Each structure stands twice: as C-alpha cells, then as structure tokens.
Structure 1
C-alpha cells in the first residue's frame, strides 16, 4: 500500500456554511474530514494555554481568516469517482492537489493525536504509539489511511461509546461499513470473541487487516470482506449463517434505513444493533425504519448534530 498516491481536496468555505458543507460531504460518504477554521483554532489555543509558552506567529498568520475543509482520495480511477460523488451538488469551489509521501506525512498526521473515548478506550495513531497509555485505558492503535475513519468524527465517537458499553466478552460482532475497522477492532480489543467486517470499498479490507495487526489481532478472530450487503444476496446470506451479539453500522441514514430490514436475522436474541452516521434531522426516519422492522429503540446518543441509535429485537 506504500505506493498508493493521494489527492488532497481543499474546499474553501465560510464559518456560517462550515457545518452545512461538512454534513453534505459526510452524507455523501466522506467521513475523513480535516477542518481548518480560525475561530476553532483560536478557541483551542485559549482553552489549552497551559500546554505551551508561546504560539508561532507564522501559524497564527496562516490561520487568519481561514475556514476550509480538506479530505483525501486515491489518485486513481476509483479515487476520482469518489471525488465526483463527494462533490456532486456541492456549491463551493474546491482545489485538487497531488501529494507526495512527504506531503502526506505533513498534511495528515499532524492533525491526529491520541483520543480518549468513553471510560476505557484510547485511540492512538500508529505514529504516536510510543506515547504512554493512561492508567485504566485500553489502547486501540490505528493507521487509518486517508479515506477511512480515525475516531475524530462525532458519529464514530458515539459508536465507540456504544461499542464500549455493549461489547460482551466471548461473543461475536458484525461491523457493516467498517472503513478503517476502528469499531470492530475496538470490540475485539475489549474482549469480543470474533468479528466480521464488511465495506463496499475493496481498499478497506487491507486497511482494516493492517489496523487489526497493529493491535495483535489476526485472521483467526477477524474477517474482513468487500461487498454490498444490500445488493449482494450471497454475501448477505453468508453473514446470516450466524448471529451476532453486536451489529454495527456507522454509515448514513439512506443506507441504514434499508439495512434495518436485514438486522433481525443477524442479531442474537439479546443482541444490540448500534447505528450511527445519522444527521439529527433524519434520525426520526431511521427510528421509524427500525420499529417497522421489528426493533425497539433503547437509546439515542447525540453529539454535534449527529445521532447514534441503539435497538434490540422485540
């Protein structure tokens, strides 16, 4: 995977349109967004003054008046098709810049630092793995790649909180739309017996397996498949050969709604379906679909305009 080349897409916007543009990109399937905003930057500096003596004036100047969103796709046919899908209907202009390996290290890794989630999880980027782990936390090492989740997005954090609460030692997990594998690997780190993960992007298979290996998890416990469970009956049938204590879907409302019809035959009797990636204005549609398909919503989590729903059979 080292020879993959990347494109950096920069969307210039305004503070009042930032959330709307982010929501459009995320709803189109891009969850690896890097947001550069002067207001957030200055607030971050103010709230974390104890960690530095001074801030480089060059950095302050570079952030002045900035409100932009960056994301990354592979520099190939697949990546350009993804770019067309992500930017369809987007009113803002954007620029596309090819990256070298050095650019990638500078443009991407600098934004990610270890992240404490819930009561026990501690998501650690691979390049920070020498850092000490806080007492009582379970590390989850991650090298997300450019097109997959890192744990920084609100919907992923909501899902990870649910994974921490509902992972049962010795019981299996299914992760639909796995991306980097962060959710299913977290479940395995927390004691799940086995996990199966699926994503429509074939590149996710290698990324998820590599992240699992960073955490000492092999293919004896972890299976990653490429495919679309909504259109591939063979894959859907294969997954339904067993039932899972925890079924995860951190995708978007338009996928979760039809997917909810398959969930009852995937869940163990006391299992939990945890879905996220839902913009708050569409949460009621997802809730209706869950109920229609025989599920009872047991909890709703919200963060920064995003919603995660937990449901059970009956």
Structure 2
C-alpha cells in the first residue's frame, strides 16, 4: 500500500487540536517535531535520553506529521484537514505558519522504524508508560505500569499535558474514589486512576475513535472491571457524582465544563484540568474561581499549564 505523509508547520499552541484533527481524519498516529525539544534540558533520572537530529526540526514552531493511505479520497481528506485547521483561529488558537505539505512514502519506512524511539518512560514517582512490544521489569514493588500501543492513535502518553495530569492524579486519587475522565483520548488517565486505587472510573469522549481506543487500552491493562468508556459531549447529561474529575482538553473547552464539574464533584473533591496553553492560564483560573472552586496548584511543563481545583466542603 502507498501512503502519503502530510506535514503541517504550526505553532506549539495548536499541537493538541491539530493532532486531534489528523486523528479524526484517519491518521493512526502523529509525529511531533518541536524546535524547543532541541534545547530542553532533560533529566536522565527516569530513563535513557535519545539524541535528536536538528535537521528534522523547523527553525521555529512545530512540525506535525501524519500518514494517510493514498486513495481516491486523499485530496478531499487533505482539503478537509486544511479547512479544520483554519477554523481553529475562531477559537483564538495560534496556528503559526500553517504550511501544509504532502509527500509519498513507502509503508516500510514509517510503519516500524519509529518504534526504536519509543521506549519505557517514567512519568512520575510511581507511573511508568511502556509500549506493548517492550520488555520491562519494574524498578520497585509499588511502580505502576501502563501499557500503550501508540499505533492505535492519541500518542504515547508522554505529552506535557498528559504528564501533568498523571502527576496530579498520583497526588489526589485515593483508594475507593470515583473518577470521571472528560475527553479520555487513549484512556491513559482513566487507566492510571484505576491503577492508583479508584473503585470506579467513567471515561467520556465525543470522538468514537477515542472511545474505542480507551476500551482497547483499558482491556490491555486489565482494568475493564473498573473503567467504563462511553461517547458523550463533555459532561452534558451526566448526573453521578465523583471524587475526582480530570479533564485534559483545550482551555476554551474546559471553561465550558466548569459549572457542570462543580455540580458533579463531591464537596472536598478535586477538578484536575490540563491542556492549557500558558497564555490561557488566567482564563481557566478565573473561571474556576468564579464557579466556586478553590485553586490548590498551578503547575507548568514547557508551555503547558495544569490547574488543580477543589470544591469547598
């Protein structure tokens, strides 16, 4: 089969929404080449650091690459992708240069070569994410291992927004908690919640591909008795209360959910938000406070923000 590589030169702020557009258009995964990665100091505490090739990165901004089958619908699909990216400006999202290029590649070149760069990654004190094909021995007895197959979509679970969410869950989820994951994507946050001791996790996503991906990954990690995955528009129509609600989505979407989240989270419970670009921090923080939440933590990784809020008892 012939494949076409679509490469989009965009801005850091647009990485998450552009990646989602590509997934919804049929891409089974994306490659993100961010110039900032070349200059980031990385600790070797959690594992091996792999050298990066500067020639693969843009002078500024981010390259996002995805692979689509060459067929009679390719031209139409590419045009739909371009239109969807252009529409992001209506959400006040910086899309940078927004240059889109297409090139043909051989299946062998991309289907397996990328796997050598995807190794086990220790995300936090307890949580380690590993690819399904890697052998890994836990370092200590309380280490939590999450297996993911990034070929199924929604990345490897190591994007800063996901890392911030996982670290927050590790601190705030306790044994027996009821957790709601809004915008579940791969299901990694739902899986982590279950492995951290939650007695029940409800994962919601509007995208049916995400629901399927969550279901597959949940079974892969043997927590299907604890996690349910359903298609739903954010928290619309949800009535069951939760001890913790986690939402790793765009800032503009988070502020659409804060009122419902406040009503659903139990007194003393937590609303963990992530996916917030640095420039939208105050938008989310002010909205959370306006709805009645107390802000406990504001954490940052690269250009991304996570805010942990608590409902007063």
| TM-score (normalizing by structure 1) | 0.78
- Structure 2 equivalent of residue 22 of structure 1: 12
SS at match of 1:64: helix
- Structure 1 equivalent of residue 84 of structure 2: 85
CA distance in 2, matches of 1:210, 1:312: 31
Among 12, 18, 35, the alignment partner of 2:32 is 35
Distance 1:64 1:253, change over 3 A: closer
- Structure 1 equivalent of residue 90 of structure 2: none
- Structure 2 equivalent of residue 11 of structure 1: 8
1:55-98 CA-to-partner distances (Å, cap 9, x unmatched) read 9xxx96xx537426233376679975456423555534222356
1:193 and 2:187 aligned? no
Give the deviation of 1:173 after TM superposition. Answer: 0.7
Among 109, 112, 122, the alignment partner of 1:116 is 122
1:168 and 2:168 aligned? no
Q: How does 1:185-264 map to 2 (within 5 A)?
A: 185-218=191-224, 220-229=225-234, 236-237=236-237, 239-240=238-239, 242-264=240-262
- Structure 2 equivalent of residue 295 of structure 1: 293
CA distance in 1, matches of 2:77, 2:231: 17
SS at match of 1:268: strand
CA distance in 1, matches of 2:228, 2:97: 40
CA distance in 1, matches of 2:178, 2:110: 36
Distance 1:42 1:110, change over 3 A: farther
SS at match of 2:217: helix
Stretches of structure 1 lacking an aligned partner (at least 5 in a row): 13-19, 231-235
Distance 1:247 1:43, change over 3 A: closer
1:117-155 CA-to-partner distances (Å, cap 9, x unmatched) read 121000111122x22222242101111346414222111
Give the deviation of 1:309 after TM superposition. Answer: 0.4
Q: CA RMSD in A?
A: 3.5
CA distance in 1, matches of 2:36, 2:279: 25
